[in-house]
Amino acid sequence: MMNQQQQPGGFQQQQPPPPGASFQQGPPPPGGGQQFQQPPQFQKSPPPNNGMMMQQAPNNMNTPQPPMGHPGMNPQGMSQPGMAQPGMAQPGMQEYFEENIDTSISVPSPILSCTTSFIPQSASLAHSTKVPLGAVIRPLAPGEECSVVQPGAAGIVRCKRCRTYINAFVTWLENGRTWRCNICTQRNECPAQYFCHLDDNGQRRDREQRPELSQGVVEFIAPSEYMVRPPQPPSYFFVIDVSLASVQSGMLKSVAAAISKSLDDLPGSPRTQVGFITFDDSVHYYSFKAGLSNPQMLVVADLEELFVPAPDDLLVNLQESRDVVDVFLENLPSMFQRTTSVDACLGPALKAAFTVTKHIGGKMCVFQSTLPTLGDGALVPRENYQIMGTPDEVKLLRPAQNWYKDTAIEFSRAQISVDMFLFPRAYIDVATLSDLPKLTAGSLKTYPGFHYGSDGPKFESELCRTLTQTTAFEAVMRIRCTRGMRISNFYGNFYIRGTDLLALPNCNADSTFAFDLVHDEQNLNSSVVTVQSALLYTSSEGERRIRVITQALPVTNLASDVIQSVDTDALTALIAKQGIDIASKTNLDNARGKIQQVCVDVIRASKEGDKPRTVSGYAAPPPQMSSQPSGSEDDKKPIPENLRLLPLYTLALMKSVALRGGTDIHPDERAHAMHRLMNMWVTDSKHYVYPRMFSLHDMSSNAGLPCSTEPAEDEMEKFAGRDYIELPDVKNLTVDRLSSNGIFLLDNGMEMYLWVGRSSDPSILNSLFGTNSLEGIDMNQVQLQTSGNDFASRLNAIVSALREDPMPQTTVAKVIIVREGDPGLESRFFWSMVEDSASFNGGTFTYSDFMEFINRPPSAQGGQPGMPPGGRGPPPPPGGQGQMQRGPPGPPQMQQGPPGMPPGPPPPGQMQRGPPQMQQGPPGQMPPPMRGGQSMPPPPMNQNSHPQQPPRGMGAPSPGPPQMQNGPPPPGPPQMQNNGPPSGPPPGQYDGPPPPGPHQMQHQMQNRPPPPMQQQMPPQGPPPGQYGGPPPPPGSGSYGAPPQMQNRAPPPPRPNMPPPPGQYRG
């Protein structure tokens, strides 16, 4: 949504004072100056061959300006030997710039979210705080207003050295005649047409009338000099798999319905162009020439010598050919009703579509149901269950060939973005196919076991959103930062040209990117660090625009400022993207180890505070902790309030589908989860990593009803949707919060699960499902009612509100009903119980165990901080073998925290000392291997606790933290209160209630699900309709789960496995 355009060019011009000491344009005469070497983010990169090279807008300055290729491309000849740069310090002196900026100007948080609000003044301080510096950016975030600037006679004012756009944080000098760039410190003359006098504070008097000088986000109308070809009309091309699997699943019917529904709302009307290609074992073209009553189908069966018939009528204007397009979509589901082809030639179809659209670019939507087996890009099944759960599993998460990567690069150069929708019923190699959307700035969505009735509404709503949302075409983006800092990594879907130019054929409201900031110099010479991104794009109306986002961050020399300003949500999102990048380059163990180490380092650094310990300006290593008592002052300090949830989110991230270990995650499912998490916005990432679980059976009478007034900002977590629907209470993600008489809704932003207890209220069941009991009923036939009674209507309002956002296109959620004891779906549901122990190596930590480890001083680990790389299992307990502890003592009551928030850390004073012990798995499951292939002995039986059985059908019990031989048992997970999980104890309060005794334990277990009749191992594969069913027979190629662990050989021992904590010798 754009405000009315501002016209700075129409302001009354003010002439500068007589140029008694005016600065000349360009560098001064040679002599005496030192050569300025530009930092990497300012170095010139070769222009991309994308048909959109920009030229600098003309101005009336005497000195000619060089042409400009992309946002911020450096002109040639900027840095010459022997020439001093204006505004730069002379040799032998370092100038420090104390910036006078308006700190009230900032970028809205839905657009840019930084991990910290302060930047360390030195690299040594950044190293000591351990906080990863960076940000997550969503340039076209929905619901955010942006002022539009029409450049005047002076054109778009930019720095002549680094090409930074004029912004609210530059420094004006000499009464407004010059301005100093806040990125490279270059002094620039102000064009006469842009001149304005300064006020008493050194700010321009007209800055409130100029959005680019008073706002953090502005959009310039780019002159024609910023392009070499006219803006192209929006193009939408559809490549559809019509093989037997697509027809039988109903995918073809659903695709046709969604496209037909979206045609009226496609951006760019009446200029919009559309085209279609279908394929199975041959490629089918369709001519939509205006005036035809029916489209003409042209079949090309020769996949080697592929040619394009009637090229002029394959991509047509939608308005002119609307009638024939409607006829095609109406007949598409029945056209291939009798097909028998089971093969798919995706590669030739992509080549054909590229030939048709390469002259114009645009959006290409690909719908695929089977593994491509014919022509270019043919793939073969490469599932290998023997390497799943081992470091070699990463081979299944990397592309099998480079054909799709090379094709994606060609698409990117032609300004074609690919949105891929996959509907697998067997292995489809998501890791290889995902190169197409990744490098073309597209998106990837999968719908395993697609069924038209249950999955159709969700898919159709997501496709409609993809097609009709605000989209920027032919885009490129560059991000700059102040000299002394540099951007070391980018994350997201893009193809990077040169060193820092992100090529984005499409950029929409969901497009999210992230980057790392690191110190490029030991000390910063400015009091403010500025980050500026510039997105040059073509709007759907055919207007060339530049969206400039500028954020200034103050510099500090205090570690406490950096720690206290950390945004945990943004930090978790950035760490997740870093972990996925590490996992794809090395392995999952290293990714989990890196994520855990970051959390440990940040928490421990936050407790150290401002400790001035430097040697020659560099941070010295911490003193040896082995001589200090374990109960040091740092150990007793509480975790800062803003970091209370970091350990919880870290633990949840390590147990997420994208990064968790074990053999029960299908490679396609993991590859899809990694792709989606890499491109999630901060809020979406938080809810995906730590899902929200709502208690429905006891929700208040107002839950599910709209709020009459807009809630306060600190109450927003309790509401959702545009109508502010009140949400039920949020519960901890642990099986201890489930009860057989309860009904719980779990939402991670992508999937929704409705867990129904065996003893649920029959009246509620009748309201939701039309039956008094789900026992003995085929769950595939159960339908969730959305109306007809108060309870169903309120639940439907809650489900709908959780999928609403500021965008007008609302998606539909698919609610998966999980009956207590279901051997398949319930195991997937329990993947989200991240506060319990998981059955993979490195995931045996419960939340209590992990908090004990976080709060443990380094001396307790033998002088080595952190876990071993890969986050492998804890050490064996002292005292040899014993029997397994079934669960923790009853959860103690904790003080109620903010509503709607996940739980905070248990109080350090209630934590046990000593390393957590490996929990024994369920019968038939082998314990994780130790060094040399030796298995870990089970921990000793705790004599002071009572066994706590899991609910029937829940598989492995949720083991509690192991007990030390001396001292009371540790507490269980924190008890939930009415308004959601507590955020942790208040500062300074460590003493909580003691663990419950046997009588309290018995009382707490009355509402728990009954113990299982027979212990069994949780299923090792996804349930039918998700990622397959029972394990496939060898060689079947089925999209099933890996074989049961008890039926196959144990995994090979891992040599050189790092010892667990407590076994280091330091």
The whole-number pLDDT of residue 635 equals 64
What is the C-alpha to C-alpha distance for residues 802 and 648, in angstroms, rounded to an integer?
22
The whole-number pLDDT of residue 1060 equals 34
pLDDT tens for each residue of 175-223: 999 999 999 999 999 999 999 999 988 899 999 999 999 999 999 999 9
Q: Which residue has the higher pLDDT, 885 or 263?
A: 263
Q: Give the least confident one: 92-106, 563-577, 687-701, 1027-1041.
A: 1027-1041
3-state class of 562 per DSSP? helix
Query: What is the share, in percent, of the chain residues with pLDDT greater than 90?
Result: 59
pLDDT tens for each residue of 116-137: 999 999 999 999 999 999 999 9
User: Is the pLDDT reported for residue 995 higher than 80?
Assistant: no
Q: State the Cα angle at 983 between 728 and 835, rounded to 5°.
A: 80
Which strand (E) or helix (H) includes residue 530?
A: strand 528-538
User: By C-alpha distance, which of 398, 400, 388 is closest to 584?
Assistant: 398
The whole-number pLDDT of residue 226 equals 83
pLDDT tens for each residue of 903-934: 444 444 444 333 333 333 333 333 333 333 33
The whole-number pLDDT of residue 924 equals 36
Give the confidence band of 304 by pLDDT, cuts at 50, 70, 90: confident
CB 35 within 8 A of CB 179: no
The whole-number pLDDT of residue 855 equals 87
pLDDT tens for each residue of 47-84: 433 333 333 333 333 333 333 344 444 433 333 333 33
Write down the H helix ranges in 469-587.
Answer: 559-564, 568-585
The whole-number pLDDT of residue 859 equals 54
CB 519 within 8 A of CB 487: no
The whole-number pLDDT of residue 69 equals 41
Task: Quote helix, strand, coil % in the chain, to nearest 5.
Answer: 25, 15, 55
The whole-number pLDDT of residue 159 equals 96
pLDDT tens for each residue of 812-825: 999 999 999 998 89
User: Is the pLDDT reported for residue 1066 higher than 50?
Assistant: no
Residue-by-residue DSSP string for 1031-1065? PPPTT--BS-PPPPGGGSPPPPP-TTPPPPTT---
pLDDT tens for each residue of 247-259: 999 999 999 999 9
Give the confidence band of 779 by pLDDT, cuts at 50, 70, 90: confident
pLDDT tens for each residue of 90-121: 444 567 777 778 889 999 999 999 999 999 99
Average pLDDT, the chain: 77
What is the C-alpha to C-alpha distance for residues 858 and 1061, in angstroms, rounded to an integer?
10
User: Is the pLDDT reported for residue 540 higher than 60?
Assistant: yes
Query: What is the share, in percent, of the chain residues with pLDDT greater than 70?
Result: 69
The whole-number pLDDT of residue 856 equals 80
Average pLDDT of the residues in 607-624? 58
Give the confidence band of 632 by pLDDT, cuts at 50, 70, 90: low
Average pLDDT of the residues in 1053-1061? 35
Average pLDDT of the residues in 227-237? 90
User: Is the pLDDT reported for residue 1024 higher than 70?
Assistant: no
User: Is the pLDDT reported for residue 1051 higher than 80?
Assistant: no
Give the confidence band of 333 by pLDDT, cuts at 50, 70, 90: very high
Q: Give the least confident one: 10-24, 383-397, 514-528, 870-884.
A: 870-884
What is the C-alpha to C-alpha distance for residues 124 and 524, in angstroms, rounded to an integer?
11
CB 503 within 8 A of CB 441: yes
The whole-number pLDDT of residue 295 equals 92
* Tokens at 629, concatenated: 């008592």
The whole-number pLDDT of residue 426 equals 94
User: Is the pLDDT reported for residue 11 higher than 80?
Assistant: no
Buried b (16+ CB within 10 A) or exposed e, 515-550: bbbebbeebbbbbbbbbbbbbbbbbbeeebbbbbbb
The whole-number pLDDT of residue 776 equals 85
pLDDT tens for each residue of 494-539: 999 988 999 999 999 999 999 999 999 999 999 999 999 999 999 9
The whole-number pLDDT of residue 965 equals 37
The whole-number pLDDT of residue 620 equals 52
